[in-house]
Amino acid sequence: MRKHLVDLTVKEVTWLNEKYALMKLTDTHPLPEMLPGQFVEVRVDHSSQTMLRRPISIHFVDREHNELWLLVAVVGDGTHTITHTPVGGVLNCMLSLGNGFTLPTNEGQRWLLTGGGVGVAPLLYLGAEMKKRGIEPTFLLGARKASDLLQLQEFEKYGRVLVTTEDGSAGEKGFVTNHSVLDEHFDHISCCGPLPMMKAVARYAAQHHIACEVSLENQMACGIGACLCCVEKTQEGNVCVCKEGPVFDINRLTWQN
Ligand code: FES
């Protein structure tokens, strides 16, 4: 897929809690094609500390309003600067990068989309594209506490939403891999979140012979396969997550070795 370098205008910034901002970006031209699971490299302007672009996953693409939604966790100077770009300001974005999640081809299949923390971001667009194809997925979303659960009302538009919290303040107490919905049968799991969570989900999927894809969040810089800082060991050798991923079938990874 062709890559684009575009100046997108900040249309709206909504703080979902003290750490996470939902940014809606737009352009005067129709936004380029984007797949669920792909990401954007955002240039950090007006910062003396951050030279490199920041990789941010595509949260949603609203074609009707020509908006790209990014769910940004503020973890340092780069993301702080990006999220404090004023409405009307411009963010230079390289997109659409990486591969994407597999989409269902068979309407009878049951798909589980699970994520934790800001890792839930790409699952909204994925769920929306699934619903377009006639499949309502089950979202299983985990967080430390209720106030860290993000965008639940948006997820509810596209499927069944179940949650876990580590402190029990919402949904079932514990981790996503403890949730009772896992007693049900699923044909496919798509997962994104902290590494220990993804490994636990991959273990569960392998044990139950369920097809499973995970979206890796390795450290990235260039986003286009040039700097080699995002390398992941796979069954076929080392690959750049930014180019070959970020989405991988768990059977390609060496986690189960
Ligand atoms: Fe540079 Fe992947 S981020 S090679």
CA dist., res. 95 & res. 120, Å (int): 20
Write out the H or E segment, with its range, that includes residue 97. strand 90-97
Q: Cβ distance 118 to 59 under 8 Å?
A: no
> How far apart, in whole angstroms, are the C-alpha atoms of residue 245 and residue 215?
7
**The pLDDT of residue 88:** 98
Output phi, psi for 114, to 5 deg.
-130, 145
Q: Could you tell me where the beta strands, DSSP code E, fall in 43-87?
A: 54-62, 67-73
Nearest ligand 1 atom, CA 231 = 2
pLDDT at 2: 87
Ligand 1 pocket mutation, candidates 56, 94, 242, 248, criterion most atoms within 8 A of CB: 242
Give the HSE-up count for residue 69: Cα atoms under 13 Å, Cβ half-sphere: 21
Q: Is the CB of 226 under 6 A from ligand 1?
A: yes
| Closest by CA position to 250, among listed 186, 217, 206 | 206
- Its pTM stands at 0.96
List the chain residues with pLDDT less than 70: none
